[in-house]
A and B are shown apart, each in its own frame.
Chain A
Amino acid sequence: MYELQYSKPSSVNDAVAEVKNSSDAKFLAGGMTMIPTLKARLSSADLLVDLKGSNLSNISVSSSEVVVGSMTRHCDVASSNDIKGSLPALAKLAGGIGDHMVRSCGTIGGSLANNDPAACYPSAVLALDATVVTNERSILAADFFEGMFETALNEDEIITEIKFPIPEKASYIKFPNPASRYAMVGVFMVKKTDEISVAVTGAGENGVFRCKEIEDVLNSNFSLDALDNIQISDDNLTSDIHASAAYRANLIKEMAKKGLKDLI
């Protein structure tokens, strides 16, 4: 790791100010990607501004919405009785990220801002039409993800909370990469009052995406065997040493078939 300074301001405003006043500062939001990257000298910063002290880790649940502070750790989402009661698929997703240590440090805001194409959370945010709230504005999920490791966030912008509308039902099924345990394919499915939405992570060349092929089928035929004969195109899907695009296409179908059982 290159030498750097560390600070832990006590408010979002202070954190933003510190980053603005520094030539090469970075926010630290759990550090589960950032720290290994810094240690491997693949990335550098003169200052790490830790958001841990900025009061961003609240969970609040109403009848229509689950609101999760951006610095809420995966383990807290996974174990929240409120979330388990109103949006259990989100708790399940959080409980399946990384290992115990990662879940005890990593945060939802950190994960979304990084937008790793194999991260779990982006699929939930996209499928649920969540709103990403920052210190500057509110961003709709559909506008937030801009491709692999790219988001709509500005340089000094901090995610403060994520608002998830509570649907009728939701499910998340992940096929983990055997090495990294990130999603080789993760499918988040949501049954809203008027439609089905399906987001896929781990498979897209441009990161998380809505799977129209599955949504169209289920919107016209919402039944258990609706996906049995569906053929998912492997266009724009990732091929790497772990899985070809064709295999990922198959996994999307198979994970969706499983997830559908939880929706019906």
Chain B
Amino acid sequence: MPDGGSTGIGASVKRKEDYRFLVGEGNYTDDINRPNQTYTYMLRSSSAHAKFSIDTSKASKANGVVKIFVGTDMEVGSIPCGWQVDSKDGTPMREPAHPPIAKDKVRYVGEIIAVIIAESLEDAKNAAELVDVNYDDIPVIIDMQDALDNSKGLVHDEIDSNVCYDWELGDSEAVDKAISEAAHITSLDIRNNRLIPNAMETRSAIGDYEHATGQYTLYTTSQNPHVIRLLMGAFVLGLPEHKLRVIAPDVGGGFGSKIFHYAEEAIVTWASNKIRRPVKWTSDRSEAFISDAHGRDHVTSVKLALDKDGKFLALKVDTLANMGAYLSTFASSVPTYLYATLLAGTYTTPAIHCNVKSIFTNTVPVDAYRGAGRPEATYLIERIVDKAAREMGISQVEIRRKNFIPVDAFPYQTPVALQYDSGNYNATLDAALKKADYEGFAARKADSAKRGMLRGIGFSTYLEACGIAPSAVVGSLGARAGLFECAEVRVHPTGSVTVFTGSHSHGQGHETTFAQLVSEKLGISTDMVEISHGDTNNIPFGMGTYGSRSLAVGGEAIVKAMDKVIAKAKKIAAHIMEASADDIELNNGNFEIAGTDKSMSLADISLAAYVPHNYPHEELEPGLDEKAFYDPLNFTYPGGCHICEVEINPNTGEVKVEGMTAVDDVGKVINPMIVEGQIHGGLAQGIGQALLENAAYDNNGQLLSGSYMDYAMPRADNFVDFKVGNEVTLCTHNSLGVKGCGEVGAIGSPPAVINAVVDALSELGVDDISMPATSEKVWNAINQAKNKN
């Protein structure tokens, strides 16, 4: 297309947003300062489980202190969970109260016990040291097995168990029958390690109450400002939407951890009214470790039944999922609807049953983290498939091909509720095998052996469900909100465009990708398009960004709004050019009368719409500004093949990633460069989980990995050059054909890495290694295997 072609769909347009970030002129929450602002220090519990009393009288008199609030000062609603899950016996999940400030009992290290508001942060911190807290410790529940035993204690006295719900999905009878009759059963016990999200920007929030108008504004590091407005306004503080504005400006990464409504947001908003001054809080890094919701933390037993030829007959899964001390916003949905529904993976397993007990412990709340439930499902499927292949003497590739859902079987109904619309798993596998030079692996292994090293290759032919989510479906499952998206496309009088989107970019590059949609559809360059997001007063409505939903749901809403713009523009063009609207065609950005050389540009039409002198007033309103809501009909189903190759030094147990190949089917690709970047980031997090990252608690509930001295964040030298490719099957139920790419890297890669490690060690008889596969763990496994042999 003449104008927009170079910046349309499929072009690797450089990210429009990067200039301001690179020159240090992003506008993050902590960059914002309000007149007469105060500063807050959150005093947090140092005990994991205790009754406590608190005396702030001395601290209140400290220099610069404006006000100190404790739990009993803040009588508001409980911080809500956004998803209702019922146990298999029909009883609703146990949902203990979650006050923003703990009142008389603390349940994890990091829980807020006092809010110190002062003229400066240093004043607040100084005063915090004068607060007198007496803890009366109660036995701590850290291990989920311990939590199942009521005699070991209860995290919440007011409920009779540490089990939040005992939930199931699938046909347990069919599974048990298949297992009892199967030629082969493979079993595996798995821990999906607890992770700490570590977004580059720590959380921050400013509450600003305007007394004269009664208007509240919350500036916050959020992935979904409208959702925060809903949860905090309706459930915690009782504020109606029209009096509450939530602004999430530039946000420096989230990975899920900034979806949730956190206590600090409610506290600063509420306190700004109490003290009639703006209240600012910014987390420091140490604080983030004990106050941002953690991710993963599942313990699972899994059984796979196979016939004599290696065909899967049934999968049986029993999972304990750690919720931490309180239910965070998405927590209950992660190990259920985002997990058990994924257990078919890319395979035709006819019978699946999954039982999930979610458990309260005296740890930081656990919630969605890049992938959220789907990495946990993928990890167990791809690990047990690998183990089964090894036990049955079938190759890792062959067992997968044997069980793939064939290309002609779509739409494919799984036994765990989902209906996949499209995919071609052999295509991604074939492309990945080629890219990873699978044929050359034996030679590389021989070369490693010559040097005394062990080499292994591991596969993951994964699938995920994203584009979250069809409201009707999630509503029936217990979501307390619809998961549609909204967009407004405003064509300005001279033909430039502003898109208002309910999606929220915190690193994803929406300002570029969404502009490319406009460029493609309306035939203007991305330079003529601005993307606006993150402010409930500017954006009609929005559900935000998570679950790889922005393009498949948010982008589709933009397309729907553009369709309305185009329809109206055609009518205007038809009126001015004296033709029938049916004869107007939009080609390369021009509205042409079919079969003639008469045409108008978008700018001509928009000018006419705003200066409507010659205008079909009886039929049309002036202006060219359209809004659309889009609710998807189904999830989207990206999938693909990740292949990892590792070399292990048997003397030290060191695992070195030598190759990482990812061929993904994320549907139609709008900006290949951005997609590749998303895959790279996801792979980095996946490899980080597999080899390095682990949130470890001691028995007293103290976080042992509470800083970068002890929490191993992956760095560039932990990786190799990733080989990334894509094979496209289009999503069949959105017009763009897009599926989503934000999470696939983190979902697909961990089992590929661990399968590679196990493959390298398999010649010694090792058949399992847990995440993270640290050098000591690998060294121990090698020694144990040697001692056995």
Interface of B toward A, CB cutoff 8 Å: 122, 125-126, 286, 651-652, 692, 696, 704-705, 708-713, 774-776, 779-780
Contacts and interface: CB of A to CB of B under 8 A. Distances in A.
B712 A178 contact: yes
Contact of B708 (A175, A180, A241, A254): A180
Nearest to A257: B651
Given A175-B652, A179-B705, A250 B779 contact: yes
Contact of B710 (A3, A40, A179): A179
A179 B776 contact: no
B776 A243 contact: yes
A137 interface: no
Given A241-B705, A254-B651, A179 B712 contact: yes
A180 B692 CA distance: 12
B709 A180 contact: yes
A149 to B, nearest CB: 15
B451 to A, nearest CB: 13
Contacts of A254: 651-652
A41 B125 contact: yes
A221 to B, nearest CB: 20
Given A179-B708, A247-B776, 8 more contacts: A178-B692, A178-B712, A178-B774, A241-B696, A241-B710, A242-B710, A242-B776, A247-B779
Interface in A239-257: 241-244, 247, 250-251, 254, 257
A187 B775 CA distance: 18
25 contacts: A1-B122, A2-B122, A3-B122, A40-B286, A41-B125, A178-B692, A178-B774, A178-B775, A179-B692, A179-B708, A179-B709, A179-B710, A179-B711, A179-B713, A180-B710, A182-B709, A241-B696, A242-B710, A242-B774, A242-B776, A247-B775, A247-B779, A247-B780, A250-B779, A254-B652
A250 B709 CA distance: 22
From A2, A241, A243, A257, residue with most partner B Cβ within 10 Å: A241
A1 B779 CA distance: 42
Contacts of A257: 651
A244 B776 contact: yes
A35 B348 CA distance: 58
B687 to A, nearest CB: 12
Contacts of B711: 179
A241 B651 contact: no
Contacts of A244: 776
Contacts of B713: 179
Nearest to B286: A40
Contacts of B125: 41
Contacts of B651: 250, 254, 257
Contacts of B286: 40
Interface string A168-180: 0000000100111
Interface string A20-56: 0000000000000000000011000000000000000
A180 B710 CA distance: 6
B691 to A, nearest CB: 8
A1 B652 CA distance: 40
Contacts of A175: 652
A2 B120 CA distance: 13
Contacts of A247: 775-776, 779-780
A35 B776 CA distance: 32
Interface string A129-164: 000000000000000000000000000000000000
Contacts of A40: 286
A232 to B, nearest CB: 13
Nearest to A250: B779
From A179, A241, A250, A254, residue with most partner B Cβ within 10 Å: A179
A2 B128 CA distance: 13
A251 B711 CA distance: 21
B39 to A, nearest CB: 15
Contacts of A41: 125
Nearest to B654: A175
A88 to B, nearest CB: 22
Nearest to B776: A247
B353 to A, nearest CB: 36
Nearest to A181: B715
A241 B704 contact: yes
Contact of B652 (A2, A179, A250): A250
Nearest to A185: B652
B719 to A, nearest CB: 13
A41 B41 CA distance: 14
Interface string A77-107: 0000000000000000000000000000000
The 5 A-B pairs with the shortest beta carbon distances in the complex, nearest first, are: A179-B712, A178-B712, A247-B776, A180-B709, A254-B651
A257 B775 CA distance: 18
Interface string A101-126: 00000000000000000000000000
A257 B649 CA distance: 14
Nearest to A247: B776
Contacts of B779: 247, 250
Contacts of B775: 178, 247
A75 B655 CA distance: 29
A130 to B, nearest CB: 27
Contacts of B780: 247
A155 to B, nearest CB: 26
Nearest to A253: B651
Contacts of B705: 179, 241
Interface in A187-236: none
Contacts of A182: 709
A241 B705 CA distance: 8
A243 B776 CA distance: 6
A251 B654 CA distance: 11
A244 B653 CA distance: 13
A87 B185 CA distance: 60
A255 B59 CA distance: 53
A178 B126 CA distance: 35
A251 B652 contact: yes
Contacts of A250: 651-652, 779
A41 B710 CA distance: 19
Contacts of B712: 178-179
